[in-house]
Amino acid sequence: MAASDGSKDGQDSILEPLCFPEQPADGSSVPSLQHPSAEPLVCLFCSESVPLLQKDVLLKHLLLEHKMVIADVKLIADLPKYMLYWKGRFLEQPVTDFCSVIKTNSTGPIEKQEDYFLLCDVLPEDRVLREKLQQKRLEEVLEQQQKERDDSSFHRLCMFCSEEFSGNRSSLLNHMAREHSFSIGLPDNIVYCNDFLDALQSKLDNLQCLYCEKTFRDKTTLKDHMRKKAHRRINANNHAYDRFYVINYLELGKTWEEVQSEDDRELVDDEDDDWSDWQAHPVSAVCLFCDHQSETMEQIYTHMKEAHGFDLHMLRTELNLRFYQQVKLVNFIRRQIHQSRCYGCQEKFDSRAAVLRHIMAEGHVMKLPDVSTWDQPQYYFPTYENDALLCTLSDSDEDESVKTNRGEDVPVIAEDISNLRALKQSSVLNQLLKSRSSCS
């Protein structure tokens, strides 16, 4: 996630939802399948350009200078080509012909209103472009995999015993699995094998455990650690390895576990579904003011009231907040604190710790600005995309029949799932496989 420094007042911006840390992992929950490229990223509207690895710089530029947001950037298979395509289209037609327009501060004075543009795959042309780029990437990966299968010039030493292997890569991978109990998967499931082995060898050369990724003082200590702790395996939570497995390219944006689970569900007869042994993983809600986490609504509300003097139940009752207003209020407070600004008086501070001290010292915990300040469409969107606190919100404690009559007039567009099977049959992968089989 990238955010601006807030060097200029009013320019505090969040490019995409933040994430609360769930575990000490290395980052993204989405496979990183965008290969480093020499092709630069170009701005959709001006001459600004950056290397692909600095894409956050360009996304920030698009947001601050052109008020443009591109949805699901991580799921675009070839970002440079995507940007070039839309740069050309925006020269031909106005941006409003393609993008959704989001108006901020819609109920405020006209001079304070701003229009932001959202480019996403709701637009059929954008969806087709993303699918074409994904199909091309999949074709490249399958072609690379076939080259590696046919390659007889492979030559490498085993990273554990230094035995030499020549010919096909499968001989080395099978050797490591059989003799050293170290398996990275079936050879036919792996692509960019040399890069994969180079990455693993680099970790060992740096005296780093392949699984827990801790660093040790010498090779002997590292070997003993990996043997005793059964750490002769790779860390599945390290998404840097995702690009080496073909299955991660089949459904861009999904991990192999998600793809596999979808396949498994199709094999199970609905009548035989048994959920008796299913265990839910507890989701912890994070306090608005500190790092405290609780697994139940009562616990997190009690903590915020006793530790910080913030009573969300009281605010909901006094202000008669409907569900979506509560959502906007929580997102508003989250964003203000993230940007080191007091949500009560709008004073800006140098750090998060400073603004929290101010809020407590000045008694601004329960002080909210005018409703028009935070009851804005922009706060429908979460500041933290895994904010479990939003899941604990509810309507006022009234009769269910009354609730249904006083909902906010918010348009909700349901996903059309009536043609789900037809969509699967027309997927990029199926089309590709059919064309390959017809050619053969």
Q: Which tokens belong to 229?
A: 């702790």
Give percent of the chain above pLDDT 90: 31
Q: How confident is the model at residue 4 (pLDDT cuts 50, 70, 90)?
A: very low
**For the residues 265-278, what does the mean pLDDT come to?**
53
**For the residues 237-243, what does the mean pLDDT come to?**
83
Per the model's pLDDT, the better-predicted residue between 179 and 406 turns out to be: 179
- Residue recorded with tokens 């955010």: 3
Rounded to an integer, what distance in angstroms lies between the CA atom of residue 41 and that of residue 60? Answer: 13
Rounded to an integer, what distance in angstroms lies between the CA atom of residue 52 and that of residue 78? Answer: 10
| pLDDT reading at 281 higher than 60 | no
| pLDDT reading at 279 higher than 90 | no
Q: Are 158 and 175 contacting, i.e. CB atoms less than 8 angstroms apart?
A: yes
pLDDT at position 416: 44
pLDDT at position 272: 52
Q: pLDDT tens digit string along 298-348?
A: 888 899 999 999 998 899 889 888 888 899 999 999 999 999 999 999 999
| pLDDT reading at 35 higher than 80 | no
Q: pLDDT tens digit string along 385-395?
A: 778 888 878 76
Strands 41-42 and 49-50: antiparallel
Q: Which tokens belong to 222?
A: 């590292």
**For the residues 170-199, what does the mean pLDDT come to?**
88
| pLDDT reading at 238 higher than 70 | yes
Q: How confident is the model at residue 77 (pLDDT cuts 50, 70, 90)?
A: confident
Q: How confident is the model at residue 181 (pLDDT cuts 50, 70, 90)?
A: confident
Q: How confident is the model at residue 132 (pLDDT cuts 50, 70, 90)?
A: very high
Among 398, 258, 409, 248, which Cα is nearest to 324's?
409
| pLDDT reading at 219 higher than 80 | yes
CA distances to 148, 152, 179, 253 from 192, in Å = 8, 15, 23, 19
**Dihedral sign for Cα atoms in the order 273, 276, 279, 285:** positive
pTM of the prediction?
0.52
Q: How confident is the model at residue 216 (pLDDT cuts 50, 70, 90)?
A: very high
Q: How confident is the model at residue 274 (pLDDT cuts 50, 70, 90)?
A: low
Query: 413 exposed, middle or buried (CB, 10 Å; 0-12, 13-18, 19+)?
Result: exposed
Q: pLDDT tens digit string along 360-418?
A: 999 999 999 998 889 888 888 888 877 888 887 876 544 344 444 444 444 544 444 44
- Residue recorded with tokens 């300040």: 373
Tally the C-alpha atoms within 13 A of residue 362's C-alpha that lie toward its C-beta: 15
- Residue recorded with tokens 């701003």: 114
Three-class DSSP labels, the chain: CCECCCCCCCCCCECCCECCCCCCCCCCCCCCCCCCCCCCEECCCCCCEECHHHHHHHHHHHHHHHCEEECCHHHCCCHHHHHHHHHHHHHHCCHHHCCEEEEECCCCCHHHCEEEEEECCCCHHHHHHHHHHHHHHHHHHHHHHHHHHHCCCEEEECCCCCCEEEECHHHHHHHHHHHHCCCCCCHHHECCHHHHHHHHHHHHHCCECCCCCCECCCHHHHHHHHHHCCCCCCCCCCHHHHHHEHHHHCCCCCCHHHHHHHHHHHHCCHHHCCCCCCCCCCCCEECCCCCCEECCHHHHHHHHHHHHCCCHHHHHHHCCCCHHHHHHHHHHHHHHHHCCECCCCCCECCCHHHHHHHHHHCCCCCCCCCHHHHCCHHHHCCCECCCHHHHHCCCCCCCHHHHCCCCCCCCCCCCCCCCHHHHHHCCHHHHHHHHHHHHC
What residues contact 437, with CB distance under 8 A and at least 6 apart? none
pLDDT at position 25: 38
pLDDT at position 415: 42
Q: How confident is the model at residue 45 (pLDDT cuts 50, 70, 90)?
A: very high
Rounded to an integer, what distance in angstroms lies between the CA atom of residue 351 and that of residue 347? Answer: 12
Q: Are 51 and 39 contacting, i.e. CB atoms less than 8 angstroms apart?
A: no
Q: How confident is the model at residue 68 (pLDDT cuts 50, 70, 90)?
A: very high
